[in-house]
Structure 1
């Protein structure tokens, strides 16, 4: 089991050279192999920077991804995405939403881009004693959220209206994917899942009700598929979860308190819980008192990745100790989210990003 005192959520701002290369790839000016070479070069530089700045757990920054969640979910057979336009904060954005188009499954014999990405990171980290590579993937609930709640599609090909059968197959696919990552050396896996915070937002819950569902019904879907996804997980693999209230180009997507979802999420056998707490929208820490005395580590996300203001060590310490009073000794610190949930990144620059990482590491003095 990892002894985590401070950690990162996963994504980093994409270097300009990657953005330019991805644009050239879209225009068919370079081949995928050429894009991969550029991405790999930048990932290697990033890992060097992460270690140089004092991180003991490192990621590839999600430099090969367009979206924090969809690139992973596309590894499953029976899943694809729809391209849409959606207005957010006065700007029309090109977005994708996932949809079920057949039987959901995971074939470990296939050549998976996300497994290749992990293999590359894993090899890079071997040269750094005492440093652990972490793989971040999106959670099983996101399939259900996109198809049934975001797109509002009531039926699915193959399953019809049988949500329970779909849940069984999603869970089995995740079990197989987790075993595949384990076979490739992964011992620290983070499952990102913002579905829970969709369901604390009154506006979104109203939409769910209009679709003919009830909040508790959806939460039970999430609980069932999340627990089943972790069945048979290797005993020496640490599995974490992270959720925040959305992060699209630095803007939150949802609001609300954790009171109604914390008792349900805490039933899922995760080893580590990363939870956003960078501003007053998150409320107090009391909902997570249920984890006090458990073996799970609570990672409180007090450092914002969404704005450029650099928090002080003193204010982080004060909030951290408040959380510790409620949750107990098994607690750690992190930023509230990644720095780039989508390839465009948040509304900060790289200097601010690394200043925030330095602040995180410096807090080890009181963790």
Structure 2
């Protein structure tokens, strides 16, 4: 069980100083140390603002990241990325995709930027009584998604076609990384993983079939590696997962209902499940009846981070109670995703962002 009433997913719109510093850094006009100095100052301000708006669990807004997932996955040996241009929504975007280059592992003996980022967040959160620092990382499935389903690579260095050995190594690497974060003081970890919603989208499933894979086969990969990744986890560390239907500059990537994936993902021993439900594209709450009585917390993502329209408090209450009737008493509320899965952010402004947070916190009257 995840002991929360309401929470955020993680990312916030990058502030102007962050945007300017990252642009200067990319252009070679600012050193890494200079960039970190700006990030530190803006993250400290963000944490203060999160607390002032009533949040009990705070993140660093992913202010140090370009991507919600790849910056974390680069912490693993045997994984890297390539840059390419891809058209989406009539716009050519410069993106990255990851792929396997060798044995996947995580070395706790070397410095990890993501761990250092958490240490700074924890220090800032400690300034405020009753506030907890939450670390958000991307899940192990995303390594498989990028390499096999996005890049279409079937034979990989070190493993060849032995995906079972690869799954074991990815899981072991995650076990080591989770312990490393724990040893640095992390007690609340959120594992973000959109892989499940790739597998409910009919267009993407056609691509999967074209690559020679079956849906059930891929879902079993995801279940195995995610379950193994949590083996040996510290007993006093809360670990939740979050997944939505993609969020690239405010645009969803996938469509479909959760009926076929909920029975699989619910087998993974997460303490909480943050699930997108901000519009009719998600369907009913019925698939999540499988969580009732399991002890896991269903976190209903009823507030949109990509639609500038401010939701109605009473409508949120109605839908929350509808979900509660399905999943039971272990239920909480959140936005459906972060406000900036990539550094460009969603198509809303900062004022709207904080109005959405205020709405979330105001809902504690019925939580």
Are 2:76 and 1:93 equivalent residues in the alignment? no
Is the contact made by 2:2 and 2:240 (CA closer than 8 Å) also made in structure 1? Answer: no
Taking only aligned residues, the RMSD between alpha carbons, in angstroms, comes to 0.6
Query: Deviation string for 1:51-73 (max 9, x for gaps)?
Result: 00000000000000000000000
Instruction: Say whether the 8 Å CA contact 2:9–2:242 is kept in structure 1.
Output: yes
Q: Which residue of 2 aligns with 1:301?
A: 301
Gaps of 5+ in 2: none
Q: Could you report, residue by residue, the CA deviation over 1:197-235 in whole angstroms, capped at 9, with x for unpaired residues?
A: 000000000100000000000000000000000000000
Poorly superposed stretches of 4+, deviation over 2 Å: none
- Match runs of 1:41-52 below 5 Å: 41-52=41-52
Equivalent position of 2:169 in the other structure: 169
Aligned-pair distance for 1:2?
A: 5.1
8 Å CA contact retained: 2:248, 2:341: yes
Is 2:293 the partner of 1:280?
A: no
SS class of match (1:274)? strand
| Structure 1: gaps spanning 5 or more residues | none
Q: Distance in 2 between matches of 1:126 and 1:21?
A: 26
Rounded Cα–Cα distance in structure 2 between residues aligned with 1:74 and 1:244: 22
Partner residue in 1 for 2:268 = 268
Deviation per residue, 1:288-334 (Å, 9 max, x gap): 00101111110000000001000010000000000000001100000
How many residues are aligned here?
367
* 1: CA distance, partners of 2:43 / 2:160: 42
Within-5 A mapping of 1:239-278:
239-278=239-278
1:144-163 deviations in Å (ceiling 9; x for gaps): 00000001111100100111
C-alpha separation between the residues in 1 aligned to 2:312 and 2:96? 37
Q: What residue is the counterpart of 1:219 in the other structure?
A: 219
Task: Give the match's secondary structure for 1:207.
Answer: helix
TM-score by length of 2: 0.99
Query: 1:153 maps to which residue?
Result: 153
SS in 1 for 2:64: coil
**1:203 corresponding residue in structure 2:** 203
Measure, in 1, the Cα distance between the counterparts of 2:2 and 2:97.
34
Alignment TM-score, normalising by the size of structure 1: 0.99
Residue in 2 that maps onto 1:179 = 179
* Distance (whole Å) between structure 2 residues aligned to residue 315 and residue 90 of structure 1: 34
- Indicate the residue corresponding to 1:364 in structure 2: 364
Q: Which residue does the alignment assign to 1:56?
A: 56
- Which whole-Å deviations, capped at 9, do the CAs of 1:121-158 have from their partners, x for residues lacking one? 00111111111110000000000000000011111001
CA distance in 2, matches of 1:3, 1:77: 34
User: For 1:134-149, what aligned pairs fall within 5 Å after superposition?
Assistant: 134-149=134-149
SS in 1 for 2:159: coil
Measure, in 2, the Cα distance between the counterparts of 1:295 and 1:284: 21
**Which digits, 9 at most, give the CA deviation of each residue in 1:255-278, with x for residues without a partner?**
000000000000000001000000
Are positions 1:188 and 2:188 aligned together? yes
Any idea what the Cα deviations from partners look like across 1:54-99, whole Å, max 9, x if unmatched? 0000000000000000000000000000111111100000000010
User: Does 1:113 pair with 2:113?
Assistant: yes
Structure 1 match to 2:65: 65
Aligned to 1:20: 20
Quick one: distance in 1 between partners of 2:109 and 2:29?
Answer: 31
Q: SS where residue 107 of structure 2 aligns?
A: coil
1-side partners of 2:47 and 2:87: how far apart?
35
